[in-house]
Amino acid sequence: MLSKGDYVQVLDENEEGVVINIIGDEVTIESKDGFVLTYKPNELLKIGKEDEVDIRSASTRSSVSEALQDKVDPKKRSFTKEKRSRKDEFILEVDLHIEKLTNDYRRMEKHDMLNLQLDTARGQLEFAIRNRIPRIVFIHGVGEGVLKAELEFLFSRYSEVVAEDANYQKYGLGATQIYIKQNPNR
């Protein structure tokens, strides 16, 4: 508890002074520079005059300096961010749900739908290879797994393609992500 005449140090600032007035939850201090400042009691740390003179001493260091050090120098987390080109950040997303590909899918047979989906996937894959797009996500849905199996067969025919399940948190189980190995001589 603070009282009038106590010598205090401000925790979040490099300021100290003498308490000259306490009204409710406001403490008024006069700084060593002669300024009159108002703070909340939880922003102040009571210290003795001898602590102010020798604040770096071993006995005082454990109480005052450590409390101040926590406020002044917050722990910084280190991040190492590797530089990437804009092209690496771009992911081409291709939704192969039949209703996204055509409006008159209700009149189509199942094998026609599957062929349209595979033709779209093949076209997008070859487009990505030509334009050196490194990653594509094919959204095929969960279903019975027929389209996914056909896509895996399609991707296996390309030596520069590596297929894996896409990010579960973003796409769930119904998507496959492929990486296209880039040949620098192309």
Which of the residues in the chain have pLDDT under 50? 50-61
Q: Quick one: pLDDT at residue 75?
A: 59
Averaged pLDDT of the chain: 81
Q: Quick one: pLDDT at residue 122?
A: 95
Percent share of the chain, pLDDT over 90: 36
Q: Quick one: pLDDT at residue 33?
A: 82
Q: Quick one: pLDDT at residue 53?
A: 41
Please tell me the total number of residues recorded for the chain in this structure.
186
- Rounded to an integer, what distance in angstroms lies between the CA atom of residue 16 and that of residue 5? 13
Structure tokens at 38: 């108002």
Name the pTM for this structure.
0.52
Which residues lie below 8 Å from residue 125, measured CB to CB, with a gap of 6+? 136, 154, 155, 158, 161, 178
Q: Quick one: pLDDT at residue 171?
A: 87
CA nearest 113: which of 98, 103, 100, 99?
A: 98
Structure tokens at 4: 């009038």
Q: Quick one: pLDDT at residue 168?
A: 87
